[in-house]
């Protein structure tokens, strides 16, 4: 099963920093931004996280929470979060449950080698738990501002 635009999120349960377990039922009543990124402490992923951090107050003012997701461990996430002072939780998805649900595992190439990895993607869910917008193959510069504008426009 995979998420579809304008459909409620299917059930899932994942672990996040702050000793949290997150499921769609926990998120009802607030807008949710979930961004998937390849790896903690890499340049693009660090910049993207910092952009979300720097605009987090505006996301909160728009009634939204933000979650970052990668396959890194909770321990690595906790260090990454503390190092860059992220005010939002990071979800650890080592078994790719959430990655597969949102269809972000893609065949990638690096130095001529093919491997499966996370394609940088962001999803906006409304306060009823319905997927309203998705950004795939994200380029970091300007992305967070675009997501914020969409979040603010979502009633």
Instruction: Exactly one of 32, 34, 45, 125 is catalytic; name it.
Output: 45
| 3-state SS assignment for residue 154 | coil
Annotated active-site residue 45? The verdict is yes
**Residue 5 to residue 16: CA distance in whole angstroms:** 24
CB 83 within 8 A of CB 51: no
Half-sphere exposure of 78 (CA within 13 A, CB side): 9
56 φ, ψ (degrees, to nearest 5):
-60, -40
What residues act catalytically?
45
């Amino acid at each position: 099963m995979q998420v579809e635009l304008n459909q409620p999120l299917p059930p899932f349960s994942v672990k996040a920093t702050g000793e949290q377990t997150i499921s769609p039922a926990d998120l009802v009543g607030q807008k949710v931004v979930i961004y998937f990124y390849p790896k903690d402490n890499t340049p693009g992923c660090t910049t993207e996280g910092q952009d979300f951090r720097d605009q987090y107050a505006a996301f909160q003012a728009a009634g939204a929470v933000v979650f970052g997701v990668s396959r890194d461990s909770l321990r690595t996430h906790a260090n990454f979060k503390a190092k860059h002072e992220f005010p939002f939780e990071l979800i650890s998805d080592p078994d790719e449950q959430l990655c597969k649900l949102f269809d972000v595992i893609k065949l990638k190439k690096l130095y001529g080698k093919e491997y499966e990895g996370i394609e940088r993607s962001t999803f906006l869910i409304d306060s009823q738990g319905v997927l309203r917008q998705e950004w795939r193959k994200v380029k970091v510069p300007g992305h967070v501002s675009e997501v914020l504008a969409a979040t603010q426009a979502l009633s």
